[in-house]
Chains A and B, each alone.
Chain A
């Protein structure tokens, strides 16, 4: 069975500080990995995805994520957080040949001015 764990339910950072959101997964092979962001009252928007190749992937809004096979992790990072980054972030996984996305429970990010 596949699963995604986001250990942090809620994180608060100051504007301008760096950010790292953690994501660990369980899957028997290398999965396709995604980070989505959900602003309050909105649907989900894709930030970035990993499927092969370079383990450091760049996304929209200045976000990046690093795939580490040895740690089964796909952590999301941003060097300097903006107040508009306050939202909920979801890590998700899809196995090769599968239609279904498995989501983590999400990490809510609050930004202090």
Chain B
């Protein structure tokens, strides 16, 4: 049981390049989330999904797109990377219980945009 995995772990992009971050979970969780973490800002929600084929915007969605074609995978795309998107990106998943179900986090992807 690997939990939540993210690929890649590190990436350096040039301004204007595109890339996709992959998140996979093997816990059969309904809900999945993408966060970004910046120094002194805590974690901020980018997009989330409450089920296969559904996505919704979080607090800071601009410049990102997501897709949830399979229940176990949640992709985060940057179409035209900007230096402001330099950050550490975390994926998380949780059960469909809207109660106090915890979110399980992946190890993160450190992205630098030059």
Contacts and interface: CB of A to CB of B under 8 A. Distances in A.
B102 interface: yes
B36 to A, nearest CB: 11
A105 B43 CA distance: 7
Interface of A: 9, 32, 34, 36, 41-46, 49-51, 90, 94, 96-101, 103-106
Contact of A44 (B50, B58, B105): B105
Contacts, number: 55
B76 to A, nearest CB: 15
Given A43-B106, A99-B31, A105-B40, 9 more contacts: A34-B102, A36-B105, A42-B108, A44-B105, A94-B100, A96-B99, A97-B98, A100-B59, A105-B41
Interface of B: 4, 31, 33, 40-45, 48, 50, 58-59, 90, 92, 98-100, 102-103, 105-108
Given A43-B107, A44-B90, A101 B98 contact: no
Given A99-B31, A103-B42, A43 B98 contact: no
Which residue, B44, B48, B105, has most C-beta atoms of chain A within 10 A? Answer: B105
- In order of increasing CB-CB distance, the 9 nearest A-B pairs are A51-B100, A43-B105, A103-B42, A105-B42, A44-B105, A32-B100, A103-B43, A46-B102, A43-B107
Contacts of A45: 105
6 contacts: A43-B105, A46-B103, A50-B100, A51-B99, A99-B98, A105-B40
B25 to A, nearest CB: 12
A34 B92 CA distance: 15
A98 B97 CA distance: 10
A75 B90 CA distance: 25
A60 to B, nearest CB: 12
Contacts of B45: 100-101
A32 B98 CA distance: 10
Contacts of B50: 99
